[in-house]
């Protein structure tokens, strides 16, 4: 009887440890569900149309490659090469756009005391990560069924690159949202600041193709590292001379810390 009682106490203690984590995950999933319903009105066609925009980006880029007779630096097909570059970039951009919707989304939930601004921001960003996975699956399955091409050399390495692109977008959006509390013009400045990222982030070229003098400058861009990490994960035999997982991770951490400082200064109870 004593043994059973001790076992039950141990089980209860273990449940108490994980209960906050389960509650947190459940809250994020509920907020993600609410965002999807609000944006797409429970209409699958609306969701498809949202995915159609990045799919159109990929299609246009592939057609441009073929029209210009672009010689790929990696032994692969045009579709796989474009996906490896443009998908992390789109995840980065769309995550920032999603996080900047935090104020309006949070305002509709402000009466719920358990929901904090950080919960809303994370949920909105998580929806974009799911969307990126859906886009990858749609494009890769189509490429496989029509052209018998499928690139996935090291799934974990590819996941690391996508995660870094997502964290960069999340941390940038978090920091921008925190800054906007004091400087509202930040919302208008963000698109201008991000505009050059498409050209300097190794979206339609690899970092290894760059002249060494230019590579030394562009390697300060953390998204370039994320893109080339994704390529290392997708393509057998490709090794980036510049990709470093720690750099985008440290960069994201710095942005999060800066955002937390600004948030603490403005809203100490709602970080």
> Is the pLDDT reported for residue 68 higher than 90?
no
C-alpha 92/C-alpha 112 separation (Å) is 29
Whole-model pTM: value is 0.88
pLDDT digits (tens, 9 = 90+) for 177-193: 899 878 888 888 999 98
pLDDT per residue as tens digits for the range 184-219 = 888 889 999 898 999 999 999 999 999 999 999 999
Q: Which two tokens stand for residue 76?
A: 């692969």
Q: Are 166 and 95 in contact (CB under 8 A)?
A: yes
Task: Report pLDDT digits (tens) over 123-159.
Answer: 999 999 999 999 999 999 999 999 898 899 999 999 9
Q: Which residues lie below 8 Å from residue 89, measured CB to CB, with a gap of 6+? A: 165, 197, 198, 201, 203, 223, 227
Max Cα distance, the chain (Å):
79
What is the rounded average pLDDT of the residues 9-28?
73
* pLDDT reported for residue 4: 57
Which pLDDT belongs to residue 26? 92
The pLDDT, as a whole number, for residue 116 is 85
If pLDDT is split at 50, 70 and 90, which confidence band does 105 have? Answer: confident
pLDDT tens, residue by residue, 75-96: 899 999 999 999 999 999 999 9
């Amino acid at each position: 009887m004593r043994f059973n009682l001790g076992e039950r106490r141990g089980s209860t203690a273990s449940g108490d440890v994980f209960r906050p984590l389960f509650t947190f995950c459940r809250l994020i999933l509920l907020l993600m569900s609410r965002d999807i319903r609000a944006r797409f009105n429970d209409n699958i066609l609306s969701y498809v149309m949202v995915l159609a925009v990045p799919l159109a980006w990929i299609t246009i880029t592939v057609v441009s490659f073929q029209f210009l007779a672009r010689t790929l630096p990696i032994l692969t097909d045009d579709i796989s090469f474009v996906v490896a570059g443009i998908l992390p970039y789109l995840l980065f951009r769309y995550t920032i756009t999603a996080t900047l919707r935090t104020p309006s989304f949070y305002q509709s939930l402000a009466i719920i005391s358990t929901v904090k601004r950080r919960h809303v921001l994370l949920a909105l960003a998580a929806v974009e990560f799911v969307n990126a996975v859906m886009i990858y699956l749609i494009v890769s399955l189509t490429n496989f069924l029509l052209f018998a091409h499928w690139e996935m050399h090291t799934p974990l390495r590819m996941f690391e690159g996508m995660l870094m692109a997502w964290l960069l977008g999340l941390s940038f959006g978090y920091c921008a949202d925190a800054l906007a509390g004091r400087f509202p013009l930040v919302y208008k400045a963000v698109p201008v600041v991000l505009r050059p990222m498409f050209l300097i982030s190794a979206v339609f070229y690899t970092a290894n193709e760059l002249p060494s003098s230019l590579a030394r400058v562009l390697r300060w861009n953390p998204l370039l590292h994320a893109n080339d990490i994704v390529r290392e994960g997708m393509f057998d035999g490709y090794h980036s001379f510049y990709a470093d997982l720690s750099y985008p991770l440290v960069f994201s951490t710095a942005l999060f810390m800066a955002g937390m400082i600004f948030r603490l200064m403005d809203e100490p109870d709602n970080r």
